Amino acid sequence: MDALPEIVRGVSLSEHTSLGLGGEAEAYITVREVAELKAALRYAERRGMPVLLLGGGSNLVVADGGFAGLVIALGMRGVELQREGDVALLTARAGESWDAVVEYSVGEGLAGLECLSGIPGLAGATPVQNVGAYGQEVSQRLRQVDVLDRANLERRCMTPEACEFGYRDSLFKREPERFVVLSVTFALTPGGAPSLRYAPLRDAFTDQTPSLSRVREQVLRLRRAKSMLLDPSDPNSRSAGSFFTNPIVDRTTLNEVLRRAVEAGVIESVDEMPHYALDDGRIKLAAGWLIERAGVAKGTRRGAVGVSAHHALALVHHGGGRTADLLALARDVRAKVRERFGVELLPEPVMVGFERAPL
Ligand code: EPU
């Protein structure tokens, strides 16, 4: 039988989430090997306990009542690099810090992940949300995701197609009870040029092909300026990153949103509203822009919670608050956007410990 690591009681999940919010876990365990993970899953199964797989906690909203089940903190570490012709295959186990993986890839001169610098959390969480920033998404470079299938506790290698990636979406997100990501393998380009698809990033350079490390530094600067880098000395960074996803709408809805924006006097001409055409003909709107133009100013405070002073899409916990306060603010923000633009914002973080979806 696989060894089960020590089970700890009374762990406050607020200490394991970037928001610093949330109640206690009924039971908490850290696994460092797949055998330990399997033992922990069997333990929960035998007792009929729900399981929460915990990575870096940077995309989690945990209920004040905590989590009535077993929290399994994923601590499998290790990074491996292999050459395959012109491609470098970089494998990171789930418990590696994501930014350490990006830093390593940039240090090795491997192009493909540089724009994903400074994203908090662990490597194993990145395919779940199909993490993306500044024109790159992990799905663009993923070669393989190794998972443990909870249905039979067997390992499986999944191709990117099998992961069914979309914008901030994947099979793992849609079936949260089914798979545990064990490792991710990326196909990167040795000596490749950095990606400069995102205009504010491109505009920072006068030369056409800055080095990967200069691009990484610039991404870190951009994120820091928006308080999207976890930094204990920056109170605006105590968030779960973007609290809502950017809404994806059809052309009819876009026109309706534009009509409402002009009618409300928010814009004078339609090209003033940021929006991006997707390959499938739909349009991605900018939730942060909608929030601000719905009358929620950056830096808004409501007691212990508020809106980031540097990005309207991040809700912030200033300390001493409760998850209920944050959710009340989120509902309010959502209602204002709905009233002004007729658009429903959907939360981006994973909600834990709630009987029903709280938003
Ligand atoms: N905007 C505002 N006000 C704001 C924030 C943004 O008007 O307070 C406008 C900006 O001026 C810009 C547009 O909205 O015209 C888009 O803003 P930004 O470029 O900052 O990106 P975003 O769409 O708000 C997304 C991701 C971020 C990622 C950035 C950079 C989502 C939900 N968020 O934000 O990811 O870092 O692009 O690529 O897709 C996350 O997912 O947690 C996250 C931080």
Label each residue of 309-321 as H, E or C.
Answer: CCCCCCEEECCCC
Q: Among the three residues 34, 51, 74, which one is the final residue of a domain in this structure?
A: 74
Task: Give the integer Cα–Cα distance in Å for 29 and 22.
Answer: 17
- In-domain check, residue 145: yes
Closest protein CA for atom 34 of ligand 1: 242
Per residue in 246-258, pLDDT (tens digit) is 999 999 999 999 9
If one residue of 313, 316, 350 were mutated to test the ligand 1 pocket, choosing by the most ligand atoms within 8 A of its CB, it would be 313
Task: Give the integer Cα–Cα distance in Å for 235 and 229.
Answer: 11
Of ligand 1's atoms, which has the minimum distance to the CA of residue 284? Answer: 23
241 touches ligand 1 (CB under 6 Å): yes
Same domain? 245 vs 172: no
Task: Give the integer Cα–Cα distance in Å for 175 and 171.
Answer: 6
Closest protein CA for atom 36 of ligand 1: 133
97 touches ligand 1 (CB under 6 Å): no
Task: Give the integer Cα–Cα distance in Å for 76 and 94.
Answer: 6
Phi, psi values for residue 120, rounded to 5° = -70, 170
Same domain? 68 vs 132: no
Task: Give the integer Cα–Cα distance in Å for 169 and 129.
Answer: 5
Residue 207: what pLDDT?
Answer: 87
Q: Among the three residues 74, 93, 123, which one is the final residue of a domain in this structure?
A: 74
Neighbours of 117 (CB within 10 A): 27
Catalytic site residues? 168, 242, 348
State the CATH number of the domain containing residue 333: 3.90.78.10
Position 167 confidence tier, pLDDT thresholds 50, 70, 90: very high
User: Over the chain, what is the mean pLDDT?
Assistant: 97
Is residue 280 classed as helix, strand or coil in its secondary structure?
coil
What is the pLDDT averaged over residues 136-142? 98
Same domain? 270 vs 345: yes
Percent of the residues in the chain that have a pLDDT greater than 70, as a whole number: 99
Question: Is pLDDT at 51 greater than 90 in this prediction?
Answer: yes
Task: Give the integer Cα–Cα distance in Å for 255 and 278.
Answer: 16
Is residue 268 classed as helix, strand or coil in its secondary structure?
coil
Phi, psi values for residue 42, rounded to 5° = -65, -40
- In-domain check, residue 165: yes
Same domain? 171 vs 303: no
Calculate how far, in angstroms, residue 68's C-alpha sits from the geometric centre of ligand 1.
34
Position 144 confidence tier, pLDDT thresholds 50, 70, 90: very high
Q: Give Cβ neighbours of residue 289 (< 8 Å, ≥ 6 apart).
A: 273, 274, 312
Q: From start to end of 151-228, where are the E strands?
A: 154-158, 179-190
Looking from the CA of 136 toward its CB, the CA atoms found within 13 Å total 22
Question: Is pLDDT at 1 greater than 70 in this prediction?
Answer: no
Same domain? 246 vs 345: yes
Short-list 139, 83, 137, CA closest to 108: 83
Same domain? 251 vs 216: no
Is residue 261 classed as helix, strand or coil in its secondary structure?
helix
The domain tally of the chain equals 3
Task: Give the integer Cα–Cα distance in Å for 356 and 231.
Answer: 32
Is residue 256 classed as helix, strand or coil in its secondary structure?
helix
- In-domain check, residue 170: yes
Residues listed for the chain: 359
Of ligand 1's atoms, which has the minimum distance to the CA of residue 242? Answer: 42
Q: Among the three residues 190, 225, 260, which one is the final residue of a domain in this structure?
A: 225
Encoded amino acid at 122, one letter:
L
- In-domain check, residue 157: yes
Question: Is pLDDT at 21 greater than 70 in this prediction?
Answer: yes
Residue with tokens 């997100």: 173
Predicted TM-score (pTM) of the model is: 0.96
If one residue of 242, 272, 293, 337 were mutated to test the ligand 1 pocket, choosing by the most ligand atoms within 8 A of its CB, it would be 242
Please, are residues 121 and 184 in contact by the beta-carbon 8 Å criterion? no
Task: Give the integer Cα–Cα distance in Å for 139 and 197.
Answer: 16
Same domain? 95 vs 221: yes
Same domain? 96 vs 221: yes
- In-domain check, residue 59: yes
345 touches ligand 1 (CB under 6 Å): no
Per residue in 299-356, pLDDT (tens digit) is 999 999 999 999 999 999 999 999 999 999 999 999 999 999 999 999 999 999 999 9
Residue 208: what pLDDT?
Answer: 80
State the CATH number of the domain containing residue 119: 3.30.465.10
- In-domain check, residue 83: yes
Same domain? 143 vs 208: yes
Per residue in 270-296, pLDDT (tens digit) is 999 999 999 999 999 999 999 999 999
Same domain? 120 vs 164: yes
Strands 110-111 and 67-74: unpaired
- In-domain check, residue 178: yes
- In-domain check, residue 357: no
Calculate how far, in angstroms, residue 347's C-alpha sits from the geometric centre of ligand 1.
14
Of ligand 1's atoms, which has the minimum distance to the CA of residue 228? Answer: 44
Please, are residues 58 and 241 in contact by the beta-carbon 8 Å criterion? yes
User: What is the span of the domain harbouring residue 115?
Assistant: 79-225
Same domain? 44 vs 93: no
Question: Is pLDDT at 239 greater than 80 in this prediction?
Answer: yes
Instruction: Name the CA dihedral angle for 169, 175, 180, 182, rounded to a multiple of 10 degrees.
Output: -40
Calculate how far, in angstroms, residue 286's C-alpha sits from the geometric centre of ligand 1.
7
Same domain? 201 vs 129: yes
